[in-house]
A and B are shown apart, each in its own frame.
Chain A
């Protein structure tokens, strides 16, 4: 099991090896989301940070999930905290435990890939679109339009995800407003 931390993975300074946190049991399954995740399917577009959805193991004797073990782990290896993010290499990274059924499913269905010989996971195009729709900021809608314009989503799979998670009415509204259907 591996975690990709962009910037560090390509850095010759191995103060954090990209595959260590997961291998050491600090985190469970993870996948890249947000703009960096979208870049797996689309042309690159500027973003300031990296969102990583991550399944956090619960501490023995506790039902609480916390990202602090990840931050502690990385801080001990020279990474610095900037607000809600931790800067790894040159990238501010935010670790996000999945909230709700959609994000949990997205994490479980993440696509496996490899970056410079390191195994990593990226949320599926359909889940990225569904999460963007659910989040509903202007930049999320713009990203959905990019996915559709570039034919980067499987319409059948997307409809399945949207129906399953009760997002059809939002989807219809989105289409009326932005796709002029």
Chain B
């Protein structure tokens, strides 16, 4: 099924069914937020401290 057809099919669902999907999407977003997966940018120091050992 192509994306257009999938969207058309989802749009044609009854509102109550769509609300159940919204709840699942909301719960998934919350789970992702709680897991910290959205924090993708690690704070790296610009320069390694003087006493840092380089990795082999």
Binding site for B on A (CB under 8 A): 6-7, 10, 36, 39-48, 90-91, 113, 115-116, 122, 150, 152
Nearest neighbor of A115 in chain B, beta-carbon distance: B16
Residues 1-56 of B contacting A (Cβ, < 8 Å)? 6-8, 10-11, 15-16, 18-23, 25-29
Q: Give me 23 A-to-B residue pairs in the complex whose CB atoms sit less than 8 angstroms apart, sorted by A's number.
A: A6-B22, A10-B19, A10-B20, A39-B15, A39-B19, A41-B11, A42-B11, A43-B7, A44-B18, A44-B19, A44-B21, A44-B22, A45-B25, A46-B22, A47-B25, A48-B26, A48-B29, A90-B23, A90-B26, A90-B27, A115-B19, A122-B15, A150-B7
A44 partner, pick from B8, B10, B29, beta carbons under 8 A: B10
Nearest neighbor of A116 in chain B, beta-carbon distance: B16
- A150 and B8 contacting across the interface, CB-CB below 8 Å: yes
Cα distance A146–B21 in the bound complex, in angstroms? 18
Taking CB atoms, residues of chain B closer than 8 Å to A90 are 23, 26-27
Summarize A's interface: helix, strand, loop or mixed.
loop
Binding site for A on B (CB under 8 A): 6-8, 10-11, 15-16, 18-23, 25-29
- A46 and B25 contacting across the interface, CB-CB below 8 Å: yes
Taking CB atoms, residues of chain A closer than 8 Å to B8 are 150
Given contacts A6-B19, A46-B28, A150-B8, 19 further A-B contacts (CB under 8 A): A6-B22, A6-B23, A36-B19, A36-B22, A40-B15, A41-B11, A43-B6, A43-B10, A44-B18, A44-B21, A44-B25, A46-B29, A47-B26, A48-B26, A90-B27, A91-B26, A113-B15, A115-B19, A122-B15
Q: Closest 4 interchain pairs by CB?
A: A43-B10, A46-B25, A44-B21, A43-B11
